[in-house]
Structure 1
Amino acid sequence: MISLSSHVLDTTSGKPVADLPITLTCPDGSAVSAVTNSDGRCKDWPGVSFTGGIYQLRFECDRYLRSTHGESFYPFVDIHFEMTDAGGHYHVPLLISPFGFSSYRGS
Structure 2
Amino acid sequence: MGQLTTHVLDTMHGRPAAGMAVALWRQGDSAPLRELVLNADGRADGPLLSAAALQAGRYRLVFAVADYFRGAGVALPEPPFLGDVVIEFGLADAAAHYHVPLLVSPWSYSTYRGS
TM-score norm. by structure 2 comes to 0.82
Q: Does 1:90 align with 2:98?
A: yes
Aligned-residue RMSD, C-alpha: 2.1
- The structure with more strand, counted as a fraction of residues: 1
Structure 1: how far apart are the matches of 2:114 and 2:12?
Answer: 20
SS at match of 2:68: helix
Q: Does 1:36 align with 2:38?
A: yes
Between 1:57-66 and 1:37-46, the stretch displaced more is 37-46
Structure 2: how far apart are the matches of 1:27 and 1:73?
Answer: 26
Q: 1:81 aligns with which of 89, 92, 98?
A: 89
Tell me how far 1:63 sits from its aligned partner.
1.5
| Alignment coverage as a number of residue pairs | 107
Structure 2 segments unaligned to the other structure (5+ residues): none
Structure 1 segments unaligned to the other structure (5+ residues): none
Contact persistence 2:21–2:68 (CA under 8 A): no
TM-score norm. by structure 1 comes to 0.87
- Deviating above 2 A after TM superposition, structure 1's stretches of 4 or more consecutive aligned residues are 43-48, 66-69
